[in-house]
Structures are given as C-alpha cells and as structure tokens.
Amino acid sequence: MKSAFAAAFVLLLTLSTRAMAADATGPFKPTSVKSTGSVVIGGHRIDYQAVAGTLVVHAKRWSHTPATKTDDKAGTSDAEASMFYVAYFRRDTNLVHRPITFIFNGGPGSSSVWLHMGAFGPVRVVTADHTHTPAAPYTVVNNGQSLLDASDLVFIDAPGTGYSRITGKDADKQFYGVDQDIRAFAEFIREFLSRYNRWNSPKFLIGESYGTMRAAGLPLALEREDIDLNGVGLLSCILDWDLMPDNPELNPSVDLPYEVALPSYAATAWYHHKLSLKYKSLNQLMKSVEHFAMNDYALALQEGNSLSSQHRLAIAQRLSAYTGLSVSYLLRANLRIPYGAFQKALLENQDLTTGTLDTRFTGPTMDPLSKLAEYDPQSAAIGSAYVSSFNRYARTTLHYRTSETYRPEIPIYSSWDYKHKPPGASHPLIMLPNVLPDLAAAMKRNPDLKIFVNGGYFDISTPFYEGWFETHHLQIPPSLQKNITYRYYRTGHMIYVHVPALKELHRSMAAFIKSASKH
C-alpha cells in the first residue's frame, strides 16, 4: 500500500509540474524541485516528499496582453509575482484527506525562514536560548517538534522575500500593501490546492507577527472564492495597528497601546529581577497587572492633562512597582512607555538593552545617551544562524540551486500600503489597518472556523495581551467565542526559540489541527 501511494504521488507531482510549464504566460515560470527525507517525531519516523518551487500570481488588474502593450488607463496591469514555497507531504498516507497547513511569517517584508527553520519544518537550526549564538559553523538537527505528524506543510515566502520575486510596471504597488498581500496569498493557496489536488483536505493557516494580520484577513478572502478553512493559528498577534506600542506618542489621545503593553513590561521586569514586590508566580503577577492596566491605569491616562499631581504620582509609583522603572522616569515620560524606551531604560545601570522580540535577550547599549534602543539584541543574536542554515539546506538538501540571493527580509515597512478595505466599506480606509472586521465576518460565514491565539510573555513588539484584547473585541455572537482558544508561553515573539516552549507549541498546535479537522 505504501508503494502504491508513493507511485501515485510521484505521478501527481509530474503531471502538476507539466501543467505549470504549459500554462505559464508571463516572464515568470512555475518551478519545482523534488527531494525526499524523514523526520523523527515522538519516537516515530515520518518519511516525506519535499517540493521546493515557485507559483506565479498576478496583480489585481492583470492582463494577458504583453507588458509592452499594457495600458494603465484601461485598468490593466502586467505585474506578477513568483512566490517561493517549500512543501512537505507525508509519504505513507492518503494525501486527499490529510490536513494541509500554509505557514508564513510577517514583517511586512519577511520571508518564512523563521517558522521553517525554527518551529515546524522537519529540521531545526540550533541557537542559544537567550544569548548571542556564536558565528558559523551552525548546527541543524532533526526537528522532533515538526508539525508533519499532524499535517502536510507549505512554507510560503511573501512576494519579494526569500526566493520570491516581483516584476512588471508598478509591481511594488500591486503587491506591497495590506489588501494586495492578502490577495496574492489567496491566489497562491487557490493555485496550490489545484496543483496538488488538495481541495478536499482540511485546510489551516499559521501566521506569525504581521503574518497574523494576513492570516486573519485570508479566511474571508478565501471564503469569497468558496474555500472554507478549518482553522487559523495566530502567533504573536497584531490585528489592529492602533494597539502597536511603537511610537504611540505620535498619536496623542490614543492610550491603549500603553495599556496592552504593560503586562509584557511587567513580565520582563520580573524575568530580570527588577520588581520590588514578590509574586508567587508569573501568572499571579499577570492577573494583577492586567487588572491594573485596564482599570486604574486606563482611567488615569484617560484624564490626560486633567490628572491631578497627587493622582499622577500615585499611578507612577504603582507603575514603578510593576515595571522596575523609577518614579522620576515615569513622571518625565508622562506615565506612557514606548517599547523602545523601555528596552533602553530597564537595564540602563548595566549598560544593557533588552530585546524587542524577546526581552530575555540583552545586548550592550549602543548609545547610552539615546532615548530609544537602536537595535534588537534577539535579532542580532540568531539572524545569521537561521539565514546561513537555510541557504545551505535549500541547496544541499532540497536541491534548490539558484543564482538568486535569498532575502530573509526586504525594507518595505515604511513604504507598505497600509490602507485596508474591511467588509462593509465602500473603499480602503485612511487609517491604521484593522482586520478584526474581516475575521469576524469570516467566522460568521463559516461558524465552524477555529482560531488559536498564541503569544509570548516577553514580547514587547506584539504584546501577548494585545492579542487577547483584540480577539475579545471581535464583532461575533457569544456562540462563536468558544471557537477561539488561547495559549501563552514563557518566551518572546518567536515562541519556538525557547525549546521548552517549542515543545508546548507543537503539542497544542498539533492538537488544534487534529480537533479542527474532525466533523
């Protein structure tokens, strides 16, 4: 039986590759390179087929006419993207009904090397837990926490990142934006389902960071094309950009970013032993600070300049007890702490800066006189290990040999088109994007859709409490709230860099996929 499945699978891949070559009409051509491998998960060996390749997706106004004849006034576009992916298919099972999970990081402008090589792929790069990983040579090991025991996996690099590329007139405007990005991924998923005959498989998404915004917007986009998902995994949520704690001082009168970030500041101070009060556990601390953040602290910030000096001092003293920052500093900061300032100030007496993505990491302060941190010690600690290891893995194991440079990240954050058209709006809104309406509409249209929210206590880039707050403001009936589950870990933004947390994440995500695949 195993050999029959394998033979059928090889035939399917051969036919798919031929079909890709036959219908390519633009400058990009779909590609695929196959290899085989195995991974041991929970003591059991899983043999898999790996496919590294590209699929071609087009701009919204794409036309079959050649690029030289494109007429923007006629509403057409020749822009297209070649999106790189690595797919892993288990070989000893019937693929038709096996779950398939589409996985991506965020940015915007990030490839998916992080989730691929750190969390769910069949191999994992070994990095230091909370300190700088020494330079090459790096070690890549069997990933016993890969999700291949629960689902087939497809790691996707966003247009322009990794080995993905874009071309055509105004291609950056066609692909680099909230709605443009969601559309490209929806087209990729639809194309992938056809290429590999996975239309009847249980379907899942896992997105991290900005990838949660994409993952929250995709269900509705896919439902509009009659593709229902079984579940969505959200890692380190950012669904409403009004809650981001970076530079919220540029948006006075909007105080929620400070409130939802406070529990993560407190967790960080607890980790670095900067709290004067003792708590029995981190959970006890979190319950206390969450209540303070959403009540006394929120009410004080709401008063703005009307807050009395006496009340201001009292709040500063309580903030100091939760954050480890001095009362005088908090008064000068007007009780509002941007995360870059917190990184710099917490361990200032030690000339250390904490991480942004994971505040367990620290590094030497670049400029002792600066207001904000100049870099993220965690990114500096592990980035080289991930990128170097994937470059070698792609060429030697996946046999994806190309002259292209792998781009782990591209600098499009500041030029990204953040306008978003939520369901019910007549046009894209001029405001920071918020995909909660999209996710709510998707859950109403598909009341079986399950959502799994995950976060790290030591993440101040997308604070864990922000994800909780956002999903508790979805415009859905109480009956659908039961479709959302939550799990939090003693780690940061990249939950999986801490191996004990990676093990918890694997167990909970595999159980989520298994449960949501059942009728």
* Cα distance from N-terminal residue to C-terminal residue, the chain: 27
Into how many domains does the chain fold? 2
With tokens 């999700």, the residue in question is 147
Q: Which residues contact 277 (CB under 8 A, 6 or more apart)?
A: 321
3-state secondary structure (DSSP) of residue 518: coil
Co-location of 199 and 58 in the same domain: yes
Specify the pLDDT at position 333: 93
Beta bridge partners, 177, equal: 417
Query: In which element (H, E) is residue 3 found?
Result: helix 2-23
Backbone angles phi, psi at 322, to 5 degrees: -90, -25
Judge if 269 and 165 occupy the same domain. Answer: no
Question: What's the CA angle centered on 510, arms 466 and 8, to 5 degrees?
Answer: 130
Neighbours of 247 (CB within 10 A): 12
* pLDDT surpassing 70 at residue 27: yes
pLDDT at site 61: 62
Q: Is 293 left (phi over 0), alpha (psi -120 to 50) or beta?
A: alpha
Pair 199, 105 in one domain: yes
Select from 328, 356, 378 the last residue of a domain.
378
Peptide bond into 137 cis (omega under 30): yes
* Residue with the two structure tokens 């929806």: 186
- Structure pTM? 0.91
pLDDT (tens digit per residue) in 407-428: 999 999 999 999 999 999 999 9
Looking at 378, 400, 435, which one is the last position of a domain?
378
Q: With pLDDT > 90 as the criterion, what percentage of the chain qualifies?
A: 81
Task: Look up residue 253 and give its two tokens.
Answer: 């009168």
Q: What gap in Å lies between CA 465 and CA 446, rounded to an integer?
A: 26
pLDDT category at 403 given cuts 50, 70, 90 is confident
Residues 360 and 396 in one domain: no
Helix (H) or strand (E) segment spanning residue 265: helix 256-271
Q: What is the pLDDT of residues 3-26, one digit of tens each?
A: 443 443 333 344 344 333 334 456
Helix (H, G, I), strand (E, B) or coil at 364: strand
Q: Each residue of 100-128: pLDDT tens digit?
A: 999 999 999 999 999 999 999 999 999 99
Q: Are residues 406 and 351 in the same domain?
A: no
Amino acid in position 336: R
Sole residue written with tokens 């009410």: 299
Q: Of the candidates 19, 504, 433, 90, which has an alpha carbon nearest to the alpha carbon of residue 242?
A: 433
- Across 70-79, average pLDDT: 60
Last residue of a domain, one of 378, 396, 417: 378
> How far from the centroid of its chain's Cα atoms is residue 424's Cα?
26
Beta bridge partners of 220: none
C-alpha 461/C-alpha 343 separation (Å) is 11
* pLDDT digits 0-9 by tens, 448-499: 999 999 999 999 999 999 999 999 999 999 999 999 999 999 999 999 999 9
The domain containing residue 270 runs over which residues?
249-378
User: In terms of Cα–Cα distance, which of 196, 4, 215 is closest to 89?
Assistant: 196
Q: Residue 214: count other Cβ atoms within 10 Å of its Cβ.
A: 27
What's the CA gap between 192 and 5, in Å, rounded?
A: 20
73 and 215 share one domain: yes
- Is 253 in the same domain as 136? no
